[in-house]
Amino acid sequence: MQMVNGSRHYTVPPEVEAAYRAAPSCCASPAQFTYAPLSLGQTMTTAIDGATPAYEFESGKSYFRAYRLPETRAAFSVEILSPLAAGGSYAFHPEVLLLDERHVVVRRVDPRTFSFSGIQFAGPGHIGGTIAFPASGAARTEKYMLVLTTESLMKLTTSERMKALWESSWAYKSDFSSTHGPSSGTGR
């Protein structure tokens, strides 16, 4: 652990960084991804790490998860929570892309959808947000959802990203100067 301006400075474990950098791209295009089905009312926990596929997105290489959205015209939402890893020293900052039936991006979820829930007694906190899918009178164009991160998000330290998340959130303001952890290409 390094000391930076009297505060803790963490780094992503070298083996995590090395595995991420060495991970090959799984597929030639998103049409080749394996999409896990999402069902209404379903709760799941999944990791995004070296055991998940990586792909070279326009925003850079990322491990990712791919999901097929429920086929419904009813309103529904998907909540994504990414707990801080290693005692709050680094985080997976999600980027969510929604694709049509041809696997073309039709919506990039606004990054301000995700906010930081501070360090709590029960755990190190998390980054999370809810993606709304309003009721639709016609078939939805959004058929698939990708959860990934971007090279630009990984360049930010956790404290920089948390501060930006808090500043975009009306819920809470805080000083993140005591924890300077990097973002990571892995998470839960």
pLDDT, average across residues 26-48? 92
CB 58 within 8 A of CB 152: no
- DSSP codes joined into one string, 19-71: HHHHPPB--SSGGGSPPEEP-TT------BSTTS-EEEETTEEEE-EEEEPP-
Q: What is the pLDDT of residue 65?
A: 95
Structure token digits, residue 85: 């890893």
> What percentage of the chain reaches a pLDDT higher than 90?
36
> Given the DSSP bridges, would you call strands 2-4 and 144-148 parallel, antiparallel or unpaired?
unpaired
Q: What is the pLDDT of residue 166?
A: 47
pLDDT reading at 38 higher than 80? yes
pLDDT, average across residues 49-74? 92
Domain coordinates in residue numbering, the chain: 2-180
pLDDT reading at 143 higher than 90? yes
Query: Average per-residue pLDDT in the chain?
Result: 76
Place of tokens 């501060």: 163
pLDDT band, residue 102 (cuts 50/70/90): very high
Q: How many CA atoms lie within 13 A of 50 on its CB side?
A: 10
pLDDT, average across residues 94-123? 84
Contacts of 56 (CB under 8 A, 6+ apart): 25
φ, ψ at 21 (rounded to 5°):
-60, -35
CB 176 within 8 A of CB 162: yes
Q: What is the pTM of this model?
A: 0.76
Q: How far apart are CA 102 and CA 166, in angstroms?
A: 36
